[in-house]
Structure 1
Amino acid sequence: MALIATTPEPPYYAVIFTSVRTGIEDGYDDMAERMVELAMQQPGFLGVESARNEVGVTVSYWSDLASIKAWKAHAEHKEAQRLGHQQWYQHFKTRIAKVERDYGI
């Protein structure tokens, strides 16, 4: 997986998940890896980028809002959300944005 996602011509959508972790590590890395693997199999998934320091930021890219809604409701993803709420995250915020323009080198 590339460090910077290759996305199609806009428009498309970005789900920006920003988080502050607790000190609990139990199962986190395995679940995070599984969620990326599973997201990549979902209709409408375009790519993902992630970085962690004091604050973690994961941006996933999707073709449409219906695909994002389906991913949020996926059974395995819902279990990851539950565990995140209970043990892995002190704080988190999810933002959904429409990408209307992108550029880079």
Structure 2
Amino acid sequence: MSLIATTPTPPYYAVIFSSVRTELEQGYIEMANQMMALAAEQPGFLGVESARNELGITVSYWQDLQSIKLWKANICHLEAQKRGRLQWYSAYKTRIAKVERDYEMDKI
């Protein structure tokens, strides 16, 4: 699996989730892995990139706004969001952006 998501020719959408974690680890990794797998099965999902240090940033890519809306309302994702607010995050921000242009370099 590549660390950089393969995306189609723009336009498409990016959901940028920036977060600061609490010290509680119980169940987080399992839920994060489950959400990654579940997101990949959703209509309109294009890919994901994620990195974590003091600040975690996950960017998921979507075909359109309707796909993002349906993912946000997914019952399993709603449960993960709830647990995130109650247990795993001390702060987070979600941004949704339309990608109108992209370019790349790949020496791998």
Structure 2 residue runs of 5 or longer lacking an equivalent are none
Could you tell me which residue of structure 2 aligns to residue 35 of structure 1? 35
Aligned to 1:64: 64
After the TM superposition, which segments of 4 or more aligned residues of structure 1 sit over 4 Å from their partners? Answer: none
Identity percentage over the alignment?
70
- Give the counterpart letter for 1:73 in structure 2: A
Pairwise CA distance, 1:15? 0.1
Where do 5+ consecutive residues of structure 1 fail to align?
A: none
Tell me the matched-pair count: 105
Q: Which residue of 2 aligns with 1:47?
A: 47
Equivalence map 1:76-95=2 (5 Å): 76-95=76-95
Report the TM-score, using the length of structure 1 for normalisation.
0.99
Spell out, residue by residue over 1:56-81, the C-alpha distance to the aligned partner (whole angstroms, 9 max, x if none).
00000000000000000000000000
Tell me the residue number matched to 1:11. Answer: 11
CA distance in 2, matches of 1:2, 1:41: 18
Aligned-residue CA RMSD (Å): 0.4
- For residues 22 and 45 of structure 1, the distance between their equivalents in structure 2, rounded to whole angstroms, comes to 28
Which amino acid is 1:62 matched to? W
Report the alpha carbon displacement of residue 2 of structure 1 after superposing the two structures with TM. 1.4
TM-score normalized with structure 2 length: 0.97
The whole-number CA distance in structure 2 between the counterparts of 1:73 and 1:43 is 13
